[in-house]
Structure 1
Amino acid sequence: MKTLFRVALLSGAWLLHNSAASAQQGSRFTISGYVRDGATGESLPGVAVVHPASGQGTTTNAYGFYSLTLPTTADSVRLLVSSLGYERQGLAQKADRSFTHDFRLKASSAELADVEVVGSREEKLAETTRMGTINVPVAQIKLLPALFGETDVLKALQLLPGVQSGGEGSSGLYVRGGSPDQNLILLDGTPVYNASHLFGFFSVFNADAIKNVELIKGGFPARYGGRLSSVVDISMKEGNMQKFHGEGAIGLIASRLTLEGPIKKDTASFIFSARRTYIDILARPLIKAQADGVTAGYYFYDLNGKLNWKVGSRDRLYLSGYTGYDEFYANDEDKRGEEYDKQNSSLGWGNRTAALRWNHVVNDRLFMNTHFTYTRYQFNVGIKTDDRFRNNGTLQTEKSSLNYLSNIQDLSVKSDFDYVPNPNHYVRFGGQYIRHQFRPGAQQTTNSADPSQDVASGRRINADEASLYAEDDVKLTSRVKVNIGVRLNNFLVDKKLYPSVEPRLAARFSLTEDWSLKASYARTTQYVHLLTNSGIGLPTDLWVPATAKVKPQLAQQFSVGAARNLRFKGEEFELSFESYYKPMKNLIEFREGADFVGTSDASYESKVASGQGWAYGGELFLQKKSGKTTGWIGYTLSWSNRRFSDLNQGKTYPYKYDRRHDFKLVVIHEFTPTLTLSGTFVYGTGNATTLSQGRYQLRPFEEYEDYGSRNSYRMAAYHRMDLDLSHTKKKRWGEVVNSFSIYNVYSRKNPYFIYLDRGLGSQRATYKQVSLFPILPSFSKTFRF
């Protein structure tokens, strides 16, 4: 705590120094305010606010707030506000004092015809200090081909370089050689621990309720912490403050509906969104016909809600929440007159989040955002039996149950401050406290015939995490700009304290107006682990804390690269190259033969092995951001290896998702304002897996399998093409979009897993590949009013 206190003092001294330096620069004034969508009232992040006469400028923060300090002049000051998809707006006013001004941008019909592929910010790629950061507009995500017609945010991120999926149809993210638990996924600033539906085939995020998606793969700013590989920052819409609006879709397996509008115009608004599958309803008659007395099914649902209240010119309150759940069930009933046997089995998992956010403009240069959040993830496996039978002529009933559950929940408070003393400095600082509660495994058994045998095992493990951070995005010269910061963490669990100091640095050196070189360094610490057997993010994976025996995960990431803004025949392109090296420590894996069954209290400590990892590679990214044809090309060359002293005889082996070559192509073409064709193509080196290399007969009825080195076999390469054709029809009440998608156009048989077919009799044992999805056409109908 002494270290954290020292950092707080240093941060305060840093801010006082910047304020004093600003005051010494002569008479200055500050223009501040918000930039919002003129039609909906939604705040617009990343909008450029520029003073053309001096070339000084800034961008709005995540909540649409801007602050620009300029020298006082006798003449009027002119500002220019611009963002792709909106008409530019100017302001001319006498500059004799500080003042506030809110901008309402009007959508540009000319620019709306162009689809922005990546990056809604006006700041060009070659100008920013940040590395490994990509902003993906939701409007563009909705145009991409979708499995079963279900738009998926995380699958869109898999199309970016440095990001890959775990396998066919999976929505899991493996970023720069990391694992799924190393991604900090935030929904309105609240962590989501399991972001998958349908065993990983869909994500939990309803695109209709989302405003902005940002992916950070490296060069992490100091304001983010707690994970090693990436940050996925997802912001929900705030709700239309001007008029009532609705949007929904009907697909092959699910339907969704979003409603938003003003509670009081220009003062308060709401948004509510719901989604549910109906696989269980459609399949129920077929299951009953195949198995008499058996009812089985699977479904998932999502509910999102948000309230937005403008308390005054300086204050705004937001209340948001999410709940989602998956359930697979199978009920079997056998009746014999008065006697019967009933058995109900279920597997369920889901997330709940809630967030209360307060935005406050402290003064024209200081903005505060305070967040109170709650998040919980839980899965439950259960079997219930209900038997009625005759015993010596007497009708008796016996009931029993077996439940296994695991959960993690957090309560958190966080305050973030944005301070802009002058256009050459953008300072951020703040702190966070999290109360973690883990329940790695709990088993409950009951039996009505003998209540004395009822068992309830499993305890809760509490942990406290506190952090402080400070960072400054500072322009040193016309060519050099750096983002320097530090984050300090303390994690306390079972009287064991883990402190951590995390320096962060990113720098940009401009060679020309369009060419720049970049470099970054980040140290990160992760205090939570995900125990998994499969590696594909099944709901039975366990979240567990670092303990006195199981240390926190540690990583460093070094990145260097170059960025170039290109112009060709009037069109703009952005080209970037980044190389990275990421050593990791204290990674954990289940020991051979261990799994989650029976994992309770801290018993997982004896089931895991601790080791190291290394990930390194290079990423090339070319994107076209405007015009009738937009898209990008991404290529990644990478390596990801692991070494555990208790696994693979202590030898280094490739990580399961080590992928040497990874290629992505995305193209969107607008034939007319109402007809759009999009296509994607992906190619990747096959996943590494472990297969038996031989079988030996030791003695009668006893065989030994020789598996050789871990992950020494490569599956076949993965490649696939998807297409989507969307046509929009205008109606008096709104519009209807009909989308026809084809997943896996040429029906490539991509490997999902490989199993050993031992054969019958004298037949020779052979390995066989299982493929999941052939060519799959789908249709969806979206409506907006």
Structure 2
Amino acid sequence: MFPHLRPALMAGACCGLLAAAPAQAQQAATGRVTFSGYVRDASTGENLIGVAVVHPASGQGTATNTYGFYSLTLPAGADTTRLLTSYLGYQRQVLRVRLDKSQTLNVRLQPATSELQSVEIVGTRQEKLAETTRMGTINVPLTQLKAVPALFGERDVLKVLQLLPGVQAGGEGQSGLYVRGGSPDQNLILLDGTPVYNASHLFGFFSVFNADALNNVELIKGGFPARYGGRLSSVLDISMKEGNMEKFHGEGGIGLIASRLTLEGPIKKDTASFIVSARRTYIDLLARPLIMAATDGATVGYFFHDLNAKVNWKLNQRNRLYLSAYTGRDKFYARTKDEGERGEYNEVDSGLGWGNLTAAARWNHIVNDQLFANTHLTFSRYQFDVGVEDESRRRDSQTDELRTDKFALKYLSNIRDLSLKTDFDYVPLPDHYIRFGGQYVLHHFRPGAMQVKSSDPDANLDQFNKSTRTLGHEIGLYAEDDYKVTERLKVNAGLRLNGFATGNKFFPSVEPRLAARYLLTEDWALKASYARTTQFIHLLTNSGIGLPTDLWVPATAKIKPQKAQQVSLGAARNVRFRDEDYELSLETYYKPMDRLIEYREGANFLGTTDNNWEDKVTSGKGWAYGAEVFLQKKSGRTTGWIGYTLSWSKRKFEELNQGRIFPYKYDRRHDAKLVVIHQLKDNLRLSGTWVYGTGNAVTLSRGRYLLGSYTEYQDYGPRNSYRMRAYHRLDLDLSHTKKKKWGEVVNSVSLYNAYSRANPYYLYFSQGFEDGQGNVREKPGYRQISLFPIIPSFSKSFRF
């Protein structure tokens, strides 16, 4: 079908053949033994990610991968030696082993007895910050995510990530991520390895991720490993829990606007488990009586819901199968009915809905004690639709007979993916950690389709039944090696080969990746990284707040793939001060971007179809550069972090702003974050966050003129040349934990915007007004709209 894909597909098939090579190499090797297995939570059976497995006598070590698997190869001998396993929040475990033969060692770690032992804010798994090669990578422990103050009591993964340097929100309360000068569509968001295209609820104020169902959250801002591809700015890799294999367990919460419940337990103990998690908001139910009273009987509402489910089945010691799914949807609706005389009426029913559906089947297979394989089949769909139905009954002016007229319009847009991916982790020696694999993705794009039904047959239109979809074929092959060259120098070198085919057009891409660290001392390290990335899909958006009117479209012969490069330099230090550990990092980055797209002046999504969207957009370039400082304290009664970012983000489009360079809408010169979590007592916790940011850039008219009698002309200045006021906000949270016979209850009281700062949300022009004597009471000018004053909230969560 696509001859130009054959070489790449053949290369992908070779990845499977390579799986046999390491086994042969190991058999040929002499004088070495390998210890391998899984590390799990002793109380739940959950796989633990990033557990350090170390041989103290030689200093050699490794860490468990995303599925809890480790492999450590050591020189053979007749002696008995020790292996040490350690993971923050768990008791260390010492294993005594003999070095005379390879063996499988599955480890179960006991949770720490003290809550304070498990405190960790943000860190790079178990490897010290100064030792790891990777840059711009941050792990967010779920225990701390729930300690940060939250809007309306809803704990949110994306809101916590916004508190990190180099990451910012689009605006007040929003959950979108703008990473190092990029836009939200440039973030690869993975839920159990499946892409999520719209991660927002409530028009961007909450994310789709229920924290109770998650096991691990990792954000990569730069120095991307070769195993990730398809986006320019970041990778957010989120893993769901696998389900408690030991006993039935549940947790949930009740907040002001939503409630949630998670249930998990064994299907067959130590063999199979399940987890189901659900969340729904009840804003529409609470507000419906007030809305109906205020609108004289109209029904207006909004709600969202999420449902996560997963089954984990251990087939045998070497094979494990996972099935997981997620569905979530937002729905806004309005219904009105105006009754007239003598049977006349007019009834209007309108709505806007959007949501995600994902499903995944994953097979983990231990090929041998040094080679681990994961095969992943996934499906993902994002769709939004808007519709209106209008039915009216009127009496004919001549015959006085009742006549019914009907009109219905529906517009929808969606993107669907079907993907097959295989990844291999190969650890021949402690100084080498090799990953390689391949992926194929079949994209179905439907940028827009419209259906019109009317009592007037000439007005009918039905694009749904036509072939309005565009297919895209994306392939990727990669290999990378995390290699310890010397005791001081360690590198992660990789190469990714990508290709995208649509119609008769094929876009190849070669993406080298390199990261390195050099130890100046045991605690000081210099770091550098380089990554080239390509994005084959585009997002058409009229605003940056993640509205569901965003349309996903493919690269074409006319609108080519986006490309970017990122160079990062930095330093890291592990600090011990007064018997407490701190981590300090400094990173600078430069990221040029090409073939970015924007709507042309005056264009928008309305009426966009797969046949005409290319005529509504224009391509251009972008640049982002800056520096980030991050200081964190990870243990003790008081924990937290300080982050500061100095950055620039610019754009240049020949058909916008007269071809001149202009600031990106979310260009933010200064961005500072402070997070403090203090354990007042064992059962009482106080936490607070403070954020500050330079105001967003906006475009305002510098003059207004009246042409003729009624036509107003606005003379706009340069694009994004005006800055709104600076943004700053303080949030507080006080949580009390009460132990029960059946579990525990946590009551939390939060204050959002504690000193009620009137932060700008948007600006509008006011004509001003005069009194009856011609005196000016308010001058014409722009006025600021602020969204949230101080907002107190209460939430209750529980575990059993």
Give unpaired runs (5+ residues) of structure 2.
none
Q: Which residue is equivalent to 1:263?
A: 267
Q: Which residue is equivalent to 1:581?
A: 590
Q: Distance in 1 between matches of 2:122 and 2:294?
A: 49
Displacement of 1:246 after TM fit? 0.7
SS of structure 1 residue aligned to 2:463: strand
Residues 148-187 of structure 1: matches in 2 within 5 Å?
148-187=152-191
Deviates more, 1:456-465 or 1:648-657: 456-465
2:452 to 442, 445, 453: 445
Percent identity reads 68
CA contact under 8 A between 1:436 and 1:463: conserved in structure 2?
Answer: yes
Q: Distance in 2 between matches of 1:587 and 1:499?
A: 18
Residues 463-502 of structure 1: matches in 2 within 5 Å?
463-502=472-511
Q: Distance in 2 between matches of 1:697 and 1:454?
A: 39
CA contact under 8 A between 2:230 and 2:534: conserved in structure 1?
Answer: yes
Q: Distance in 2 between matches of 1:4 and 1:132?
A: 30
Q: Distance in 2 between matches of 1:561 and 1:18?
A: 35
SS of structure 1 residue aligned to 2:559: coil
Q: Specify whether residues 6 and 396 from structure 1 end up closer, same or farther in structure 2 by C-alpha distance, changes over 3 A only.
A: closer
Q: Distance in 2 between matches of 1:17 and 1:279?
A: 58
Q: Which residue is equivalent to 1:504?
A: 513
SS of structure 2 residue aligned to 1:646: coil
Q: Distance in 1 between matches of 2:753 and 2:511?
A: 43
SS of structure 2 residue aligned to 1:148: helix
Q: Distance in 2 between matches of 1:181 and 1:606?
A: 20
Deviates more, 1:452-461 or 1:99-108: 452-461
Q: Give the aligned residue type for 2:363.
A: W
Residues 313-392 of structure 1: matches in 2 within 5 Å?
313-336=317-340, 338-391=343-396, 392=399
Displacement of 1:111 after TM fit? 5.8
Q: Give the aligned residue type for 1:611.
A: G
Displacement of 1:2 after TM fit? 6.9
Q: Distance in 1 between matches of 2:609 and 2:766?
A: 35
Matched, 1:215 2:219: yes
CA contact under 8 A between 2:690 and 2:731: conserved in structure 1?
Answer: yes
Q: Distance in 2 between matches of 1:158 and 1:17?
A: 44
Deviations 1:598-628 (A, max 9, x none): 1002311111110000000000000001001
SS of structure 2 residue aligned to 1:104: strand
Matched, 1:249 2:253: yes
Displacement of 1:316 after TM fit? 0.6
Matched, 1:734 2:749: no
Q: Which residue is equivalent to 2:236?
A: 232
Q: Distance in 2 between matches of 1:19 and 1:515?
A: 38
Q: Distance in 2 between matches of 1:503 and 1:270?
A: 40
Q: Give the aligned residue type for 1:182.
A: Q
Q: Distance in 1 between matches of 2:276 and 2:781?
A: 53
Deviates more, 1:8-17 or 1:647-656: 8-17
CA contact under 8 A between 1:166 and 1:174: conserved in structure 2?
Answer: yes
Q: Give the aligned residue type for 1:726.
A: S
Matched, 1:593 2:602: yes
Q: Give the aligned residue type for 1:59.
A: A
Q: Distance in 1 between matches of 2:275 and 2:15?
A: 38
CA contact under 8 A between 1:225 and 1:525: conserved in structure 2?
Answer: yes
CA contact under 8 A between 2:532 and 2:565: conserved in structure 1?
Answer: yes
CA contact under 8 A between 2:573 and 2:585: conserved in structure 1?
Answer: yes
CA contact under 8 A between 2:687 and 2:732: conserved in structure 1?
Answer: yes
CA contact under 8 A between 1:222 and 1:504: conserved in structure 2?
Answer: yes
Q: Give the aligned residue type for 1:438.
A: F
Displacement of 1:389 after TM fit? 3.8
2:306 to 302, 309, 312: 302
SS of structure 1 residue aligned to 2:761: strand
Q: Specify whether residues 516 and 14 from structure 1 end up closer, same or farther in structure 2 by C-alpha distance, changes over 3 A only.
A: farther
Give unpaired runs (5+ residues) of structure 1.
none
Q: Which residue is equivalent to 1:778?
A: 793
Q: Which residue is equivalent to 1:643?
A: 652
Q: Give the aligned residue type for 1:266.
A: D
Q: Which residue is equivalent to 1:108?
A: 112
SS of structure 2 residue aligned to 1:287: helix
Q: Give the aligned residue type for 1:534.
A: S
In the superposition, the TM-score normalised over structure 2's length comes to 0.95
**Count of equivalent residues:** 785
Q: Specify whether residues 5 and 465 from structure 1 end up closer, same or farther in structure 2 by C-alpha distance, changes over 3 A only.
A: closer
Q: Distance in 2 between matches of 1:699 and 1:338?
A: 45
1:428 to 425, 432, 435: 435
CA contact under 8 A between 2:689 and 2:730: conserved in structure 1?
Answer: yes
Q: Specify whether residues 433 and 398 from structure 1 end up closer, same or farther in structure 2 by C-alpha distance, changes over 3 A only.
A: same
1:412 to 414, 419, 427: 419
Q: Distance in 2 between matches of 1:628 and 1:11?
A: 49
Q: Distance in 1 between matches of 2:494 and 2:717?
A: 46
In the superposition, the TM-score normalised over structure 1's length comes to 0.97
Deviations 1:452-480 (A, max 9, x none): 73433671111100110000001111111
Q: Give the aligned residue type for 2:431.
A: N
Q: Distance in 2 between matches of 1:545 and 1:318?
A: 31
Q: Which residue is equivalent to 2:766?
A: 757
Q: Distance in 2 between matches of 1:528 and 1:251?
A: 37
Q: Distance in 2 between matches of 1:693 and 1:451?
A: 45
Displacement of 1:338 after TM fit? 3.8
Q: Specify whether residues 11 and 327 from structure 1 end up closer, same or farther in structure 2 by C-alpha distance, changes over 3 A only.
A: closer
Q: Give the aligned residue type for 1:348.
A: G
Q: Which residue is equivalent to 2:205?
A: 201
Displacement of 1:697 after TM fit? 4.5
Displacement of 1:112 after TM fit? 4.5
Q: Distance in 1 between matches of 2:456 and 2:530?
A: 63
Matched, 1:528 2:537: yes
Q: Distance in 2 between matches of 1:296 and 1:258?
A: 30
Deviates more, 1:13-22 or 1:427-436: 13-22
Deviations 1:316-357 (A, max 9, x none): 111110101101100001234644321101011000000111
SS of structure 2 residue aligned to 1:282: helix
Q: Distance in 1 between matches of 2:471 and 2:14?
A: 31
Q: Distance in 1 between matches of 2:17 and 2:275?
A: 42
Q: Which residue is equivalent to 1:619?
A: 628
Q: Distance in 2 between matches of 1:188 and 1:410?
A: 15
SS of structure 1 residue aligned to 2:658: helix
SS of structure 1 residue aligned to 2:701: coil
Displacement of 1:41 after TM fit? 0.3
Q: Distance in 2 between matches of 1:102 and 1:124?
A: 24
Q: Give the aligned residue type for 2:454.
A: N
Deviations 1:253-294 (A, max 9, x none): 111111001111101111001111111001110111112231
Displacement of 1:397 after TM fit? 3.4
Deviations 1:700-751 (A, max 9, x none): 5444322111100000000000000000000111110000000001000000
Displacement of 1:4 after TM fit? 3.6
Q: Specify whether residues 368 and 14 from structure 1 end up closer, same or farther in structure 2 by C-alpha distance, changes over 3 A only.
A: closer
Residues 389-408 of structure 1: matches in 2 within 5 Å?
389-391=394-396, 392-408=399-415
Displacement of 1:674 after TM fit? 0.7
